[in-house]
Amino acid sequence: MESRNTLFHDAVIDFLPDATLVIDREGSVIAWNRAMEALTGVPAESMLGRGNYEYALPFYKKRRPILIDLVFMPEAEIERLYDIVERNGDTLVVDIFIPDFRPGGIYLWAKASPLYDTNGTIIGAIETVRDITDRKRDEQEILRSRRSLADIISFLPDATFAIDQNGVVITWNREMEALTGIPAKAMLGKGNYEYALPFYRERRPMLADLILLPAADLEHLYTHVQRVGDTLFVDTFISNLRGTSGRYFWAKASPLYDAEGTISGAIETIRDITERREMEARLARSDAELQIAAELQKSFMPETIPQITGFDIAARTVMAKEVGGDFFDVIPFEIITLERGTLGLLIADVSGKGVPAALFMALCRIVVRVNALWHRDPAKAIYDSNNIITEDAKSGMFVTLFFGALSENDRTLSYVNAGHNPPVVFRSGDETLEELLPTGIVLGAMQNREYSSRTLSIGSGDVIVMYTDGVTEAINAKEELFGEDRLNTILKENARLSAEEILDRILVAVEEFSGDMPQFDDITLLVVKGI
């Protein structure tokens, strides 16, 4: 009967899936199963009955105790000599790497237990060995990947943290430490919404937690969250954050997947966008101010051009931005007891751009218009205008200006050129050109500067083109200037046309010349043609 039991036990051990050996109390091998033969390459017939640690040779290339031998040692001796061995009752378990077992080494899991006779006396020991190299390699690769991912996340420029499926923090990068003031070591491994405390001072779900919600619940509960694919986005304001009145944040959360494609957690990136929001608010205010300034500037431009007998007049301004410093005016003198049939013609260019230039332009226009209606002599009008503007020009701004009084009675233009681009005059009789050169300095630079008036006659077919430097200083892709020569050529070629058509031809020529180059300066034209 005992022989049959022994045969039965040997058969069971032989067919165990894990490599297994059994030794008696004297350390002689009494069982060496097929899986052990396959693992070590040593047949059972060569090992059965052998002692003196013969069974260690296939593993360590030398005779030495292995796990099965520790079963016979006292517990105190095991703990003193083998700190990597785990004891579960009377069973010993170990994970071990053996570098010389085969090229590249081998990772083994082993379990050894005592064998007892019917009286409870230890008569031997049994050890089961399992090759776990592939599993260990996979674990190491996963660990390396996690460390690599952790290193990458740690150096991301945005504050980033990740949680597992149970809401436990597994990553908390340097930027998150800087943003919250909480070091990673104090946050890693924490759950129960611990990561929300630095932001909200209470435990509550954050965007990463919403990743773990079903899509239907998310859309029902969080309407302000935007979903793009499996990624969630949100802009939010968090008040009373770390001693501030509040900060604006942009956040993005995405799921983390395991090897089977199952969601195993979530990662959230947080960016402080307070400065951007504040800039957007400033830009919005600026846009509103620009719109007001543009409307103000537009209100100062004549909606229709007054006309007098014997002349065709056209004028237009093309702003480089919403508002600018160019302006023109056509002033009917009939509103006071001056000669009827007289118009004041004004074209000017304020230094600077934007709202300050627009406001300075408004000041200059009003001052010149009032003085032009008060003085018959343009030089006196501009003299007084300059003194008033210079007194108020505390920002260092100035204006170039051409002002003239056009009379239908004697067909003359009496003018002052205060440092402005010289208007060009086309004479239809001999098709020659002349320039109306400066007769004084710019307005706003110095007080009590003298200006002189000059007068020219305008015959039928003669054309005067007044312009700002946005025309002649327009550039093309080669950084060439449009220049006075091109302007003069266009004037000569189109002098037979109406004032409006001449103006259009000039603007079209400037646009075609500039091509794709942006308009850098305002363009203003005022064309007078004798008829």
User: pLDDT-based confidence at 222, cuts 50/70/90?
Assistant: low
- Give the model's pLDDT for residue 397: 85
Answer for the pair 444, 508: CB distance below 8 angstroms, yes or no.
no
- pLDDT above 90: percentage of residues in the chain: 59
365: pLDDT strictly greater than 50 = yes
User: pLDDT-based confidence at 421, cuts 50/70/90?
Assistant: very high
Summarize pLDDT for 105-151 with one digit per residue, the tens. Answer: 999 999 999 999 999 999 999 999 999 998 888 877 766 666 656 66
Summarize pLDDT for 64-96 with one digit per residue, the tens. Answer: 999 999 888 887 666 665 668 888 889 999 998
User: pLDDT-based confidence at 1, cuts 50/70/90?
Assistant: very low
Mean pLDDT for 6-16 is 71
Take residue 119 and report the two structure tokens written for it: 């009286």
**Distance between CA 74 and CA 428 in Å, rounded?**
126
Contacts of 49 (CB under 8 A, 6+ apart): 28, 29, 30
Q: Record the pTM.
A: 0.52
- Give the model's pLDDT for residue 4: 46
- pLDDT above 70: percentage of residues in the chain: 88
User: pLDDT-based confidence at 2, cuts 50/70/90?
Assistant: very low
User: pLDDT-based confidence at 525, cuts 50/70/90?
Assistant: very high
Take residue 156 and report the two structure tokens written for it: 């991301």
Take residue 140 and report the two structure tokens written for it: 């190491």
- Give the model's pLDDT for residue 139: 78
CA 126 to chain centre: 65
Mean pLDDT for 379-395 is 88
Domains present along the chain, CATH in parentheses: 2-131 (3.30.450.20), 142-272 (3.30.450.20), 297-530 (3.60.40.10)
Phi, psi of 180, rounded to the nearest 5 degrees: -95, -20
